[in-house]
Chain A
Amino acid sequence: MNKRLVIRLQSSILLIEAAAMLPSLLVSIIYRDGATHAFLKTIGLILLFALPMHYFSRPIEKNLRAKEGFVTVGSAWVLLSVFGGLPFVFSGLLPRFEDAVFEAVSGFTTTGASVLTQFDDAPRGIMFWRSFTHWIGGMGVLVLTLALLPQMTGRTSHLARAESPGPSFSKVLPKMGDSAKIMYLIYAALTMLQFVLLVFVGRMSLFDAAIHAMSTAGTGGFSNYGSSVAAFNSSAVDVIITVFMIVFGINFALYYRLLIGDFKSFFKNEELRWYLGIALFSIVAVSLLIMPQYGNFFSALRYGSFQVSSIISTTGFVTADFDLWPSAAKMIILLLMFIGSCAGSTAGGMKVVRITLMSKNISREISKTFQPRKVQVVHLDGKGVDNSMLFQISLFICAYVILTLIGAFVVSLDGRYDMLSNFTACITCVSNVGPGFGAVGPTRNFAGYSTFSKYVLSLLMLCGRLELFPILVLFHPDVWRKG
């Protein structure tokens, strides 16, 4: 393995993290929240760590192979989370290291599961940083690195591929740097639009609007209020956030198609149609199921649609305690946690395109059992899909479920909570949603788990965000062997 190159890239990524702390530092200074020293200390530590790494690892060979790409992405995210957690420790908000790491991982992976119990007097700079990790974690830290550093190495596609969600990775422009730039521009523009709407239509304060816009954009779910978006109790806010949660669950490459005037491929996109179809069906079904609890259809629709789009986009904001809903509605929520949103968005889950292709593949297998000679190619967007791709998708779905089950078992060793809580805690972490059911339900949090379980859940979040393999390769002995 080309260790020098991997180390070099890690140092660049850490330096970008230090730069990413500057806005939070600024917020901390403006509001005089007393956490300024926490950011200064963290930035200092990162520089102390990353600068020597940078200067003593001039790569001899600049070729990045698949192995190095995966190892770089996997270990970069671990490092990012460790350093990203330090402001929580230094500010005294989360003095225990495992809590800080959990919170940072939850931030970068856009999960939004929290161990924070004190919201009222929390330093504003720290709260801003918490949501800012959602924002850069959503589109990807390495994608940001690719956008900012021109010609980092010759072969960068492995990095973006390991970090971008979805079964296949496609650039919107021939050059990786240009692609990454245009993606971040679209992302930033949409975030800005939501921020403006939240301020002027939702009547939020600038700080609240910034926090919620960034958390929505990354489909993260951190709020600066203990009761999440319910704290605003405003239907305007609910509607804006509902719409934008769905918007950020759509493949960003499609927004680029819109931007260049190619409306046809936007509206004809199969994954988008499935995604919106699933969302619409769930909203209607859930709203009808919970109508008896809320009395009239419109408030049922308001709370139903918010919760559904929050879960399908794997954001995890809440305005109602869905743990109290009828079990059919709860079941829909649970299924949505597995599915997630579109590939190439900021959301987690298995991704709608995988579910789509898996369903088509199953239906093909069924028709093959009674028509053994039938030859049929699975299509997506009018193009044939390779069998190897279908195989990979089946494998991914299996691995996803197995990982969740193993995680649930390991977390159960705690002996603190019931099966449903442990299971949904794991699925909500792997899918980067945030809330689960029972002890980790919408109104509760993850503070009660043991130190060991918090590390396990952090690992699950990283696995889910990077779509398993970049993290799992780190545990494969061959990767660390020479040659």
Chain B
Amino acid sequence: MRILVVGDGKVGHTLAENLAREEHSVTIVDQNESVLHRSEDTLDVMCVRGNGANASTLMDAGVDKADIIIAATASDETNMLCCLIAKRLGAKHSIARIRDPEYNESLNLLQRELGIDMAINPERATALEISRLLRFPFASNIESFAKGRVELVEFRAHEDDVVVGVPLRDLGRKLHGLPHVLYAAVERDGAVTIPNGDFIIRAGDRVHVVADMVTITAYFRFLGKNSLRVKNVMLLGGGRISYYLAKMIAPMGIRVSIVEIDELKAIALSESLPDVKILHGDGTEQEFLEQEGLKQMDAFAALTDRDEENLMTGLYAVRQGVPKVIVKNNRVAYEDIISAMGLDSIISPQSITCANILHYVRARVGGHGTKVEKLYRLVNGKAEALEFIAREGDSYIGVPLKDLNIRKGTLIAVIVRKGRVIVPFGGDHIEAGDSVLIIACESGIGDLNEVIRK
């Protein structure tokens, strides 16, 4: 597919990197020569220098033949204009990053009038992700598949967890009443394994389990992790993420306090969020945090613009015994180091934006066979969870799984048939129309037929 990425910032570059690796023809447009050089050096893409909202620049970049245009410059207006022009010049789909809350209110109208097929607000998407983590605090990451029927949950195994030290195949026999979930992937020391029956979970492993929501909840209750319910949350930094997040979770009965260092900003927040407790002060001052009852909080989220500050206060909150600590970190590269320090829930607006856009793009990859409905990256992209819809006429339809050739390093995690979730065994088979969730250790799978063959 021909894809045009306008804006070569962190998001643009990451998108281009992923899309080029998936064999798409990617062209990047940006005004800054030096960032283009970096992309040209490291990626197999074409770079065009110029303003992304300028028709002749877009024509140089081949917009008339583009299947998708992704506008991810720093300016909302440029992004909207870019999509509008690109659509008029013949681009088939357009995606724009729009982050200003003011535009967000009239987003539907803007999208319709400007021909934007997908508008993504990184801060809002991040807030959504955090709100999910707050609802299920035992998880360090949650992703839902098959229209929310299947959840993939990541948690860190502790020494006293009952599942630790027992081979997976013996779990059901030894622990009566343990709900049956699928162990999709385990990360240990930075390496990802798709476990088999002999696998033994050790303390410190990051375990990914898959099942339907009810089973997952029961599973964590069995492990004794579900006693916690978040009632009090402290958010550090009064930026857009905090704003969206407070709006989402305050109606759910969660008491939110937001710490903001800038007084004017704090006042403005208090104006727009009357139900939320706004605190004016420096979040890096430990005394101040203690005074405001950090120890009593069920959850703490560090969401300032400075990664270092977020990390340090996050670590401090962990030390103070806050059960759920979420940290915003823009530099994806350090994720391994940070999680080694004990912070599990690390959130990066850029990766969330990229992941959302990639979902959209992958769903539009045409061609034969099945296509990816949804893709979720596990552990920094070392493994992927992919959702496909099985198509009529494919060779694997109706054949028991044990008779199929399944690609090495991949796992058929879940089959969803008519709303029913099946954690499959060798005797199960796939029917046309089923949603199939695959876990894979490699990236770039674009078709269910690549994974299973008769």
Contacts and interface: CB of A to CB of B under 8 A. Distances in A.
Interface string A136-173: 00000000000000000011111000000000001101
A171 B46 contact: yes
A483 interface: no
B275 interface: no
Q: Secondary structure at chain A's binding surface: helix, strand, loop or mixed?
A: loop
A432 B295 CA distance: 76
Contacts of B44: 154-157, 174-176
A66 B38 CA distance: 11
A155 B41 CA distance: 7
Interface string B293-324: 00000000000000000000000000000000
B33 to A, nearest CB: 6
A365 interface: no
Q: Secondary structure at chain B's binding surface: helix, strand, loop or mixed?
A: mixed
A171 B41 CA distance: 12
A386 interface: yes
A156 B45 CA distance: 10
A109 B21 CA distance: 34
A347 B108 CA distance: 56
Contacts of B42: 155
Nearest to B62: A174
B131 interface: no
Interface centre among A154, A158, A174, A383 (most CB of B within 10 A): A174
A170 B61 CA distance: 12
Nearest to B19: A174
A240 B27 CA distance: 39
B25 A174 contact: yes
Contacts of A208: none
Contacts of A176: 44
B2 interface: yes
Nearest to B47: A170
Given A173-B25, A174-B46, A175-B23, 18 more contacts: A66-B41, A154-B21, A154-B44, A155-B41, A155-B44, A157-B44, A171-B46, A173-B46, A174-B2, A174-B20, A174-B27, A174-B44, A175-B20, A175-B25, A175-B44, A176-B44, A178-B25, A386-B33
A387 to B, nearest CB: 11
Contacts of B271: none
B436 interface: no
Interface in A102-135: none
Contacts of A178: 25
A157 B40 CA distance: 7
Contacts of A155: 41-44
A178 B44 CA distance: 11
Interface in B21-63: 21, 23, 25-27, 33, 40-46, 49
A174 B45 contact: yes
A176 B23 CA distance: 11
Contacts of A386: 33
B230 to A, nearest CB: 42
Contacts of B25: 173-175, 178
A175 B43 CA distance: 9
B54 to A, nearest CB: 13
A412 B2 CA distance: 56
A306 B44 CA distance: 41
Contacts of B49: 383
A20 B360 CA distance: 44
Contacts of A174: 2, 20, 25-27, 44-46
Contacts of B2: 174
Contacts of A173: 25, 46
16 contacts: A154-B44, A155-B43, A155-B44, A156-B44, A157-B40, A157-B44, A170-B46, A174-B20, A174-B25, A174-B26, A174-B27, A174-B45, A175-B44, A176-B44, A383-B49, A386-B33
Interface string B78-116: 000000000000000000000000000000000000000
Contacts of B43: 155
Interface string A60-99: 0000001000000000000000000000000000000000
A236 B387 CA distance: 66
Interface centre among A157, A158, A170 (most CB of B within 10 A): A157
Contacts of A171: 46
A178 B27 CA distance: 13
Contacts of B27: 174
A105 to B, nearest CB: 29
Given A173-B25, A174-B2, A386-B33, A158 B46 contact: no
A66 B40 CA distance: 12
Contacts of A66: 41
